[in-house]
Amino acid sequence: MCGRMANTLPHDMVAKIFAAQPANALPPVPNFNVCPTTDVAVVTSDSERRLRAMRWGFIPHWYKKPNDGPLLINARSETVTEKPAFRNAVRERRCLVPVSGFYEWERSGETKVPHYFHRADGEPLVMAGIWQDWGADRMPTFAVLTIGANALMSPIHDRIPVVVEKGDWGKWLGEEGHGAAVLLQPPAEDVLTFHRVGQAVNSNRATGPELIEPVAA
């Protein structure tokens, strides 16, 4: 599961890291509380790599309105090739979603406790995504792929985003032929780290750096 993200990465830095050309108006950063249905800068590849703003929330082509069905912010890796909404996209339209980190909530009694996950080495966290344009205006939309949790995540949640390592970026983007399916696995145990954060992140109006500050249990 991935339901909120934090992104502090300057777009020029991301473009340089991925050797990508900015393709449209990119969303403002930093934003420490990126919510579903807002725009996120993602990397795609056709004849060249592009950094594009896309709406977080994949919209199937048969939706007549964006809210005609469930909000598809995530796609399960185990079934992504079978689901009518996703199967063409995972074959033909894969993207990379570079962020600073993401939030996950742990149920504790009647409350849910938020935690912030990020790479242990401090590098950008790059998640696997799929995308497609929707509607007459061809609005670009995407979903993050998830997989069963590894040992780090499992005490918090049973799902975790698929993390794509630098050496595999080209494979996921379809630049190296077939074989991207092997990347659909949880990250190694030492890739991510996390800490508990405050309840302020529950509000989609909060966007400041205090949201990722550790709080005591």
Tens of pLDDT, residues 77-134: 999 999 999 999 999 999 999 999 999 999 888 889 999 999 999 999 999 999 999 9
Which residue is associated with the tokens 């082509």? 61
Tokens of 106: 């742990």
Strand 192-196 relative to strand 125-134, pairing: unpaired
Is the pLDDT assigned to residue 1 strictly greater than 70?
no
* pTM for this entry: 0.96
DSSP state at residue 20: -
As a whole number, mean pLDDT of residues 50-76 equals: 96
Question: Domain-by-domain residue ranges, the chain?
Answer: 4-212
Tokens of 140: 């670009």
Tens of pLDDT, residues 157-178: 999 999 999 999 999 999 987 8
In which band, very low, low, confident or very high, does the pLDDT at 38 lie, cut at 50, 70 and 90?
Answer: very high
Q: Are the C-beta atoms of residues 144 and 125 closer than 8 Å to each other?
A: no
Q: Are the C-beta atoms of residues 54 and 37 closer than 8 Å to each other?
A: no
Which CATH architecture best describes the domain 4-212?
Alpha-Beta Complex (3.90)
- How far apart, in whole angstroms, are the C-alpha atoms of residue 124 and residue 70? 29
Give me the pLDDT at residue 150, please. Answer: 97
